[in-house]
Amino acid sequence: MLNASRSLDRIFAPKSIVVVGASNDPRRIGGRPLRYLRDHGFDGDVYGVNPKYDEVQGRPCLPDIASLPDGIDLAVLMLASAHVIDAVRACGAKGIAGCVVTAAGFAEAGPEGRVRQEELARVAAECGVRLIGPNTIGFRNHNTAVYATFGTDIDSGVRPGNVAVVAQSGGLGGYLGAAQLRDRGVGTRWMIDTGNEADIDCAECVEFLSREPGISVIGLIIEGCRDSTLLLESIATARHRGIPVVVLKIGRSEAGAQSVQLHTGALSGQDAVWDAALAAAGAIRARDEAHFIDLVRILDMPKKPAGSNLGIVTLSGGVATVLLDAAERSDIAVPPVGPPPPDLKARLPLVGFSNPLDASGQMANTPDGLEPLIDYMLGQDSVDVVVVWLAYALLSDVLGPVMAEGVTNAALRSDKPVIVCGMATPELTEQLIKDGVALTPYPTTTVEVLADCLRQPLPQEPLRTEFAPAAVGEEQIVTGSEAEALLPGVPFAQQYVVADREAAGAVLHTVEAPAVFKADVPGLAHKSDIGLVRLGIQSRAEAEDAYEALQLALEKAGLAGEILAQRQYAGLELFVGASRDAVFGPTITLGLGGIFVEVFEDTVTLLAPCSRDNALEAMRRLKGWPLLEGVRGRKPVNLEAFAALVETVSRLVAETPEIAGVDLNPVIATANAVVAVDVVVKKTR
Q: pLDDT tens, 44-69? A: 999 999 999 999 999 999 999 999 99
Q: What pLDDT is stored for residue 263 in this prediction? A: 39
- Residue 94 gets which letter from DSSP? T
The three-class DSSP label of residue 517 is strand
Residue 146 falls inside a structural domain: no
Residue 554 falls inside a structural domain: yes
Residue 444 falls inside a structural domain: yes
Q: pLDDT tens, 448-458? A: 999 999 998 88
Q: Are residues 658 and 595 in the same domain?
A: yes
Which CATH number does the domain housing residue 184 bear? 3.40.50.261
Q: Are residues 334 and 366 in the same domain?
A: yes
**Which residues, 6 or more positions from 269, have their beta carbon under 8 angstroms from its beta carbon?**
224, 225, 257, 581, 582, 583, 584
Q: Are residues 365 and 316 in the same domain?
A: yes
Q: pLDDT tens, 246-270? A: 999 998 766 555 554 443 444 445 8
* pLDDT of 297 over the 90 cut: yes
Q: What pLDDT is stored for residue 140 in this prediction? A: 97
Q: Are residues 167 and 242 in the same domain?
A: yes
Give the model's confidence band at 97: pLDDT under 50 very low, under 70 low, under 90 confident, else very high: very high
Neighbouring C-alpha atoms within 13 Å toward the C-beta of 284: 25
% of the chain beyond a pLDDT of 90: 86
Q: pLDDT tens, 183-204? A: 999 999 999 999 999 999 999 9
Q: What pLDDT is stored for residue 255 in this prediction? A: 57
Residue finishing a domain among 516, 533, 567: 567
Q: Determine the structural domain holding residue 273 and report its residue range.
A: 159-300
Mean pLDDT of the chain: 93
Residue 196 falls inside a structural domain: yes
Q: Are residues 587 and 607 in the same domain?
A: yes
Split into its structural domains, the chain has a count of 5
Distance CA 669, CA 185 (A): 52
Q: Are residues 288 and 316 in the same domain?
A: no
Residue 145 falls inside a structural domain: no
Q: Over range 472-481, report the average pLDDT.
A: 89
Q: Are residues 576 and 563 in the same domain?
A: no
More confident residue, 463 or 319: 319
Distance CA 13, CA 141 (A): 9
Q: Are residues 372 and 237 in the same domain?
A: no
Q: Are residues 413 and 315 in the same domain?
A: yes
Residue finishing a domain among 546, 567, 588: 567
Q: Are residues 349 and 420 in the same domain?
A: yes
Distance CA 116, CA 501 (A): 68
Which CATH number does the domain housing residue 561 bear? 3.30.1490.20
CB 190 within 8 A of CB 209: yes
Q: pLDDT tens, 531-583? A: 999 999 999 999 999 999 999 999 999 999 999 999 999 999 999 999 999 89
Residue 425 falls inside a structural domain: yes
* pLDDT of 4 over the 70 cut: no
Q: Are residues 327 and 437 in the same domain?
A: yes
Distance CA 376, CA 341 (A): 8
Residue 294 falls inside a structural domain: yes
Provide the strand spans (E) within 522-658: 533-537, 562-567, 572-581, 585-592, 603-607
Distance CA 256, CA 250 (A): 7
Q: What pLDDT is stored for residue 264 in this prediction? A: 42
Q: Are residues 550 and 526 in the same domain?
A: yes
Residue 90 falls inside a structural domain: yes
